[in-house]
A and B are shown apart, each in its own frame.
Chain A
Amino acid sequence: MALLDLSDVTVSIGVLTPLDRIAFSIEAGEIVGVVGESGSGKSLTAMAVMGLLPLIGGRITSGAVRFADVELNRLPERDYRALRGRRIALISQNPMTSLDPIRRVGEQIDQVSMMHLGLGAERARLRSVDMMRQLRIPEADVVHGNYPHQLSGGMKQRIVIAMALAADPELIVADEPTTALDVTIQAQIIQIMVEMARRKNVALMLITHDMGVVAQACDRVVVLYAGRVAETGSVERIFAAPRHPYTKSLIGCIPVEGLPPGGLKGIDGVVPGVANYPTGCRFHPRCSLAQDRCKIEAPLLRALEEGAAACHLAGDPP
């Protein structure tokens, strides 16, 4: 049984339906990339898993989110609280929004294991410092007593990762954890997250818009477009033979070694807003292969030999 399973999850905010029948699953210890441009519904998917939709006036109107043996979309808020931080942890994009600026960073990590694992102050401290060492934070016992403003962006994000790992969760949802960082620091943070996920057998839902990060870190990929799943599959298959034109375009946005001048191709147009989703396949106005059928009939997510794609043309060989 999958650790996390979303089956046809539809999310509404007022009269709008920003997520439409989202379906994918994550196995224990698996690293799954959730990719798409801004406005594809990546962060909302994360919020649906974390049970944070009520904060923005949203709710799951149909479908189910299952985590191990718990049906999350029916869970009372009190039980959700016991789960969040303990069994499912969140790493957000900007480390500054996750850290309390007036408390020492070490105490903020200690608090997680004291609250969720019932450890005493001293044992929690030792555990935090050990975790910080594993995340290659130099002079971990000194940094433990520092305040957030004394640390660099990359170091702060490591502290947030330490907080996420502190209660030994089974799943970490990381929402663009490296977007705000320099490329050298991004590379280190991605590497550290992958190492820790493997070592501790933690499943990772890695949200990003960068196909380079996906190729480097993930086992499987879920491509979202305008609130629907466009394609899912193993990282090897997705990059070797993408079956949805959107997946292919996203990969083409990364400059590769030896790409001739003029070879970099952006995706024309922008992701439509939730109030203006086009009829049929939502990608058809930006798709170079679109046919009349694509404008009228929304393609269903259909299984391929490996993974699944929602494209009328995906049945044909790539």
Chain B
Amino acid sequence: MGKTGDKTRSKVQGKVVMTASEIDLVLARIAAEILERLGPGEDFAVVGIRRCGVHLAQRLCRKVEATRRRAVPLGILDITLYRDDLTAAGGNRPTLRETRIDFDVNDRSLILVDDVLFTGRTIRAALDGLVDLGRPKRVQLAVLVDRGHRELPIQADYVGKVVQTEASDDVDVRLAEEGQAEGVFIKGASKNLADKASPQVEKRSLLRQTSIFDQGAT
């Protein structure tokens, strides 16, 4: 993968939405926002949604701990058991992995972390999963990318980047922890991806480094 040139690679991987260094900057900003909004005395924990959310949660944890000099508990949530498409007859069962939340969630603020916010159904499932573990004081949502097309009334509290997409597009978050060349990529579903995607990329570049809060502030 890494041997091919940038131009050929972009055809396979899609258009670059975020580079590795942008991901790092965005996570640093989210970490700062979390500390700012929750206040210094707040006892909170970070919960990553499998799979990519877990790596992002780990990185957020490290960044928050570096500023705060206090350990922040990290939990891992697998939402498979709470999916809303399991009742469909036939078909494969999604692979189950362990939920590992070793701390008490009762009366604690939780930061739920996922890579891409799309339909909102994953977050709905995650919220159901969390309340089965106890009664958190509050739950806030942090995502790396908000790509729109919500099917449920769910919004993130911390957004890395808002990306405009077609519902059929494929947003691919690749992380070093998964053994991949890091970056966020967007692939169109239609054959003539290049023609369709290029004008969108122009628009996106204007939105770079903005979040919902930035938009709200202006």
Q: Are A and B physically bound partners?
A: no
A residues sitting closer than 8 Å to B (CB atoms) are none
